[in-house]
Amino acid sequence: KAQADAAAKAKAQADAAAKAKAQADAAAKAKAQADATAKAKAQADAAAKERAEAEAKASAAKKAAEEAANKKAEAKRIASTAKRDFENKVKRAWNPPASASGQKASARVTLSESGTVLSVVVNASDPDMKASVEAAVRAAAPYPMPSDPDARREARTFTSSFTAQ
């Protein structure tokens, strides 16, 4: 009977050890699974954050490009208005020669940053017509330049056509 008790006790200990080992294995497996899940979640979060940052960068770049395009369009509009004003100012100052009736001329004018005339190139067949257009361009100076630097750069050259009546 003592031997049977000892065998039963040994079996109970072996069962307890096996049960403890099974519990330890299950706990280790559960911990490994939890760690893997946490790692996968961290990777997914990092990927989502990276995507969000990339989208934010792309959005900011697109917005900056739109703003630059709007600024450029505004500068062109301002320069166009300034050029039209310059042409009107020259035409008001122009005194066409009496002998030039029906003749045409075109002038390409280059201005400085401050609006003074740097060069005038007049294309006209009649020398009197050419001289009158050049005199009108110089008499109308200085031209009021736009305050915006891009518009000012755009408005520094303009071309105007003249027809004597």
pLDDT tens string 61-91: 999 999 999 999 999 999 999 999 999 999 9
Residue 2's pLDDT is 87
How many domains is the chain partitioned into structurally? 1
Range of 143's domain? Answer: 2-163
User: Residue 108 maps to which CATH number?
Assistant: 3.30.1150.10
Supply the pTM of this predicted model: 0.61
pLDDT in tens, 90-118: 999 999 988 878 899 999 999 999 999 99
Closest by Cα among 114, 103, 70, 109 to 89: 109
Element (H, E) at 30: helix 2-93
